[in-house]
């Protein structure tokens, strides 16, 4: 299944894509949120879809992020060999983890606002994992798959000066308003048999900047979910961003950061496409 949300920012309704058409599921479900995922919501939704009675969503309705505001967004740094190399880093012995503010999550086609004082706003195409069942101290990576609801595209937008030159942790460069476009849909895990066989790409103004494959992750999806569960409880609707391949603006020579008017197009195999226009924030 392909879960979507639609409507004005902050007032989205749940839906799904059936045969290329968005369908409204708000008559049966409140939202694609923690309660939905942790109370067998996907199974109940599949039963509803089988009835084939969901009304169509008007085409002009905005696409929201495919999950309600998550309890947390956990991100993984330096998880692709080529990305670590372009930044002059060795692969870390263990995955670096950082948090991104949940209120940075926006829809896949929403405008991204370059923050005040920013000179180094950057892009990162990433495979995002959405948690279905709570995961605490998982016994092994093999058991992690049962805790994954599905997958979507994330643009882990970053302000590199805030992130690396202003002291402290990375969070301040990762959590600016609109810095996490997500979507267009959440594809359930049963329809992605091998999350380590997905191609990723990102273009800026029609120029290919990032090309990669999830098989090049230093730490694969299931191992990441297992690893994170050793440090914090993952809950239904939480998002795990799994890292980005080479080609980020900071890694280019000379560096090439985003400016107002730039357009990013992102794509991952089986997960659709995103597009954002970048504008100066107010």
- Each residue of 7-30: pLDDT tens digit? 999 999 999 999 999 999 999 999
Identify the pLDDT of residue 83.
80
Give residue-wise pLDDT tens across range 139-163: 999 999 999 999 999 999 999 999 9
Q: How confident is the model at residue 116 (pLDDT cuts 50, 70, 90)?
A: very high
Q: Read off the tokens for 81.
A: 């060999």
Cβ atoms within 10 A of the Cβ of 52, count? 9
Cβ within 8 Å of residue 207, ≥6 positions away: none
Taking the C-alpha atoms of residue 181 and residue 105, their distance in angstroms, rounded to an integer, is 6
pLDDT of residue 282: 77
- Whether 213 has a pLDDT exceeding 90, the answer reads yes
- Give the mean model confidence (pLDDT) for residues 97-122: 97
Query: Measured between alpha carbons, how far is 129 from 72 in angstroms, rounded to an integer?
Result: 12
The Cα 87–Cα 93 span in angstroms is 16
The DSSP code for 86 is: H
Average pLDDT of the residues of the chain: 96
- Give the containing element (helix H, strand E) for 133: none
Residue 108 confidence (pLDDT): 98
What is the model's pLDDT at position 241?
98
Superfamily holding 73-280:
Fumarylacetoacetase-like, C-terminal domain (3.90.850.10)
The whole-number pLDDT of residue 88 equals: 76
- CATH 3.90.850.10: which residues of the chain? 73-280
């Amino acid at each position: 299944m392909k879960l979507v949300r639609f409507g004005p920012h902050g007032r989205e309704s749940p839906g799904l894509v059936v045969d290329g058409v968005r369908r409204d599921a708000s008559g049966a479900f409140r939202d694609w949120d923690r309660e939905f995922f942790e109370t067998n919501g996907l199974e109940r939704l599949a039963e509803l879809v089988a009835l084939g009675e969901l009304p169509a969503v008007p085409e002009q309705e905005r696409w929201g992020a495919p999950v309600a505001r998550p309890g947390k967004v956990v991100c993984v740094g330096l998880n692709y060999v080529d990305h670590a190399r372009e930044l002059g880093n060795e692969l870390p012995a263990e995955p670096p983890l950082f948090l991104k503010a949940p209120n940075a999550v926006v829809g896949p086609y929403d405008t991204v606002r370059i923050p005040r004082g920013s000179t180094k706003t950057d892009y990162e195409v990433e495979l995002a994992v959405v948690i279905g069942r709570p995961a605490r101290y998982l016994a092994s990576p093999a058991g992690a798959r049962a805790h994954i609801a599905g997958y979507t595209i994330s643009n882990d937008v970053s302000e590199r000066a805030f992130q690396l030159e202003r002291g402290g942790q990375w969070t301040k460069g990762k959590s600016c308003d609109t810095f996490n476009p997500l979507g267009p849909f959440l594809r359930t895990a049963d329809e992605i048999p091998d999350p380590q066989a997905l191609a990723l790409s990102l273009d800026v103004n029609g120029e290919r900047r990032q090309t990669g494959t999830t098989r090049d992750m230093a730490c694969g999806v299931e191992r990441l979910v297992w690893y994170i569960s050793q440090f914090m409880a993952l809950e239904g609707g939480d998002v795990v961003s799994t890292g980005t391949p080479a080609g980020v603006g900071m890694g280019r020579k000379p560096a090439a950061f985003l400016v107002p008017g730039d357009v990013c197009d992102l794509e991952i195999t089986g997960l659709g496409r995103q597009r954002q226009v970048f504008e100066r924030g107010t």
